Each structure stands twice: as C-alpha cells, then as structure tokens.
C-alpha cells in the first residue's frame, strides 16, 4: 500500500522529462530489460535549477523519481549529494515491501549525474 504522498506522485507525476540544453543525463537500470530511470539535471552555479526524469518501471519508480526531482530542485549540489535512498523512502511515507530498489535507483541516478558521470 502506498502513502498519500506517494499516491499523489503516482497519480499526478511531476517533473517528467526530457530536459534539453546543457542538462546532465544519467541512466540507471537496463533499457528494454526491466526497470530503468533517466534523470536530467540543470545545474547553474552550485544549484540545481531544474530536474526531470523518465522511467519505465512500476508506480513506486514513478513516485521515487518524481519526488527526487522535487527534493533537489533549488538545492545546492552538496545538499543534493547528501540524499540517501532511506531519506527518500521516509519523505514518501514509506514504500511497499520489495520496492526499496526504486528509491536506490533514483538516488543512484542523482549521485552518478552529480559525480560528473552523466552526459552533458
């Protein structure tokens, strides 16, 4: 069962991409073979000006990706780097058993992009 917050992000997802321009792009998971997530970040100075995602996955993946973008937009890179999957799960009011991997996938995409591994 999903919390009210997670359900809201599932039913009314925000922050869907792609973003153009100079956005960093990071893909986590296997396209065409299970869940995957693409995350775009626009960084201006030391702040995340915009964030968006696309995912092919379950409703939990949608909620995690959507909330990750909400959390990091407007924050500094250092603040965004401190986000952990457990934090995301708490903010979402929990996830159904076995869906914790969705939070790990969203946070991995974020951290990989911020570490400069994402394509510009």
Structural domain boundaries in the chain? 4-114
pLDDT digit string (tens) for 48-101? Answer: 999 999 998 899 999 999 999 999 999 999 999 999 999 999 999 999 999 999
What is the topology classification, in CATH, of domain 4-114?
Answer: Sufe protein. Chain: A (3.90.1010)
In this prediction, residues 26-33 reach a mean pLDDT of 84
pLDDT for res 119? 58
Write the CA distances from 5 to 17, 49, 63, 91, 109, integer angstroms.
21, 23, 9, 8, 22
**pTM listed for this prediction:** 0.92
């Amino acid at each position: 069962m999903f919390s009210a917050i997670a359900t809201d992000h599932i039913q009314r997802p925000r922050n869907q991409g792609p973003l153009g321009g100079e956005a960093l792009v990071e893909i986590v998971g296997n396209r065409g073979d299970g869940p995957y997530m693409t995350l775009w970040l626009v960084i201006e100075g030391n702040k995340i000006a915009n964030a968006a995602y696309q995912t092919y996955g379950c409703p939990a993946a949608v909620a995690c990706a959507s909330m990750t973008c909400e959390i990091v937009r407007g924050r500094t890179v250092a603040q965004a780097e401190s986000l952990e999957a457990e934090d995301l799960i708490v903010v979402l009011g929990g996830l159904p058993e076995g869906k914790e991997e969705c939070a790990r996938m969203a946070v991995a995409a974020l951290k990989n992009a911020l570490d400069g591994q994402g394509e510009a």
